[in-house]
Structure 1
């Protein structure tokens, strides 16, 4: 997909004479915010793929250190997170807790330290702070910094353990100030003591804040320690960085960065503060923040709002990853279920006109509000992704579920403009009109616009029952349902009768609007896992 394409005007012909664009390219495009290392690195038509460290704009000494220690090529979390972090964007990353995840924030931390070492006056405080919930995670991060950054002059320190004895803490602070670290890793309580105690370390020079295992940080009620530390740091960046995924840090055309949801107030718990206490005279620096979490429930989004992240990019990496194995993708009753992740702002699960009440959230409430309105560009990118998916597969019928009337109209028009036979079906139709739409979807193809046009039933707020519509090979949740129970009704037409031919379900997951959380809830409720759509989507239709 190309950023130069605008919304199709109503005067354009129904079919456009242009080559098809592959959805496999969508997964690899710089502009989609996804860089998938499983793709073909030789195919440059759809943008570069980060498969080697030298494809990123790393400091030469850091690159030499990575090669010297034999660090393997970037894996999925590194491919997706590093380009954004190296460009200076805030991110919220959901990924399994592995050494590779730690490396995904250690490498940009070393890069930032190296960049500031060469231009800094005498250092008064650390440049990077890494907060880990457990001693083990903090220790692993510090060891990695020591191994990769130590040989090139990056100093690091580990802040863990008890802080009861004031004399011991004073001694630790003297040692730190005598040999000030560029990067300090630690647990929330210890770092809180190091920075807030009288005579403690200064936080005014911090350029990069990493918060790992944020879901556990909240679950263990440690977030207040972090809030107090953040009050001493430079303010968050005043405007979002252009987060088109770079190739070596070079900006490319792409969608807007993923905006953080504006969460609403729940009905229980404690209201988060708006982080008062910033200095009246703002420091000359701004803070970049990276949140890493095993899961991203609403509490994590509320937390991110409270610390004022500026349109953070959302990065999603599942442990089961890209797989086209039917057994691994098999859910229940003959279904193959997948997700297609799109890292751009696409608003809430519903009409893009849904507004925001602008409230902060309550940690522990598990409730959120509506997201900010989608931009026209972001809506068009998502529509392009749907049309590209249909271009890339060869099926006769499909059902697409959407979350609002405006979205239904846009999807019908987009698919029709690509030559597909799109049939709308929504709750505002009377029974006769609904029956006519279903009969049109079930009927034989006309062959007027295509030799073999794909017929697509675009549905909003209507249950399509199996007796009305026979087995269809593909159901797409363009907008995820608002309740997990609704998911079963949506996918029912794709369930294979007598397991003769397994139907396919593809769930669109956008970077904001609660899609990641809803997909996780669906997986938990139905006790299944949705792997990511493979690089060649047509493979999932092969039994």
Structure 2
């Protein structure tokens, strides 16, 4: 009994603190009732306000008018002027550009973690001749103006107009003459001195302008100097490296390095320089000699290079030179993380060169994060078409393309290069040409490396008249004598179009580019093409000229899209940016499913 009384007394003592349970539905009703009561009180107070407006608070958090109503009243009083459509569009573009600029810097993980930043460029032993250094900056600028060279950056390096003044070895000068390279092209006039000085560089020039020599020749010179000072032994090297987006471009660059190295060995008392080619589809054992004696130069595609570095086949401890050819295409193709991982294998500062024909401002800004006091050397607008190419655009229905393709072959003598967007079209065109008795070869990503190399070599040796290819053959490959490029279909991006037609009209020669277009092409790409033709002073066909042009609505589209470089649209309408967003979303969705977050 006592125990029971004690329990009762405890409950009585806790009665004052006891809070009864209230159902959720009842709590919601009470909260709504409270809000309604407050609103009625507010409305009554509004009705009883004196007519003396000095005491009325009409703006701010204590105002009796809602924020939305305040905004409307201010707009009516012109306190917030209404923005024009043009101002709204510019603001939207700035927001998109700022969002795109939030990429991680293109540096190694270790350098980023340590906050390591190099302040001064690499020093080399090369200097311009004394008499060129004594010229004033006005004299140097006169040379740049003559060859339409634009530069940006601190302490500009003077341009040099003759190979003899670049202090190149006699065998190299002889090699250039044998290749009919009598004098430097505009990109070489400024780019070679910049690279030889050790400066980081972004090089932009139209296709066929000699960019490859601008970065491969300095690499040969640096490798030669390093070998003369202290010969490499097994397990050492490379001194420098060139990364390319495709196997064919890597093979072409590798052959060029070997030719210069052989010219040095054959033409004078110079040591042997060894190069290594790292691409998929080849047997690395065939290059075992380079591994055993030490590697001076490496040419690679990102995937195979990452594989060899992970397996520790060689290291980048002594590598002081890095060039990315077609750099913007490499980043677009999804190699950005691979390149950043490759940079983590460097043990010290390196000279970094980035080259391309199409380098939009977005890629330039991104690239600058990896460079030290870089010079930007620009010959013509980034993404502009080669003016030596006659561009012909023709409306061809989808089912009539194949027959009309055969007619187009009659425009010029061979060799002719035909581009198609997908592998199936390449195979169909190849088979059709063979049935019609045309000597044809074809390449695309689905063929083996042996098939691809056979096709390229037989076409270069003039054993075949026509090469049918996907865009794998459009980036940087040098076919000096191509008379005619035919686009069986218009690519999805204007940059790919510029690269495709750049396979002809090289080294100052004139070429023809014929492009089939119809309603299957997106409106944006047709507008970009229209503006590109106008810029190059080419004939604009009636079906493009009749298109509604946004520039007529919004004013000038000068500069075009800052993301992809297309002239016919702005960044807020960029199809490439939209495609990138879709890819990112798909990647996030697949990652979520892989992590078990799917349904």
The TM-score normalised by the length of structure 2 is 0.38
**Structure label with greater radius of gyration:** 2
Provide TM-score, normalisation by structure 1.
0.41
- Higher relative contact order (CA closer than 8 Å, sequence separation 6+): 1
